[in-house]
């Protein structure tokens, strides 16, 4: 009997944008939203493999795509 791999998920409900205060050409402050990338460290068998930058949406698909790309490159 083979053991199924265990996938540990992190928070995938992070905000994709943050509010920042900017100033227009007249010096008036405004609040705008900008994209916010965050680091996502991938571990395999408790060993750090890579740290990717992500907006947070579909982080699982980002990791699977990265791993698939690495396997394909080695074949």
pLDDT digits over 14-71, tens only? 778 889 999 999 999 999 999 988 899 998 888 999 999 988 788 888 988 998 898 7
pLDDT of residue 57: 81
Sign of CA dihedral 52, 41, 39, 18: positive
Residue 47 tokens, joined: 């060993």
Token pair, residue 8, equals: 């540990």
Count of beta carbons in the 10 Å neighbourhood of residue 67 = 14
Beta bridge partners of residue 69, listed in sequence order: none
| Confidence (pLDDT) at 9 | 65
pLDDT value at residue 14: 73
Higher per-residue confidence, 10 vs 20: 20
pTM of the full structure = 0.63
What is the distance between the alpha carbons of residues 47 and 34, in angstroms, rounded to a whole number? 33
């Amino acid at each position: 009997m083979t053991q199924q791999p265990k996938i540990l998920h992190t928070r995938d409900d992070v905000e994709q944008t943050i509010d920042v205060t900017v100033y227009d050409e007249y010096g008036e402050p405004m609040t705008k939203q900008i994209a916010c990338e965050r680091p996502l460290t991938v571990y395999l068998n408790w060993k750090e493999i890579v740290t990717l930058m992500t907006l947070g949406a579909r982080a699982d698909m980002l990791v699977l795509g990265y791993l698939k790309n690495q396997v394909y490159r080695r074949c």
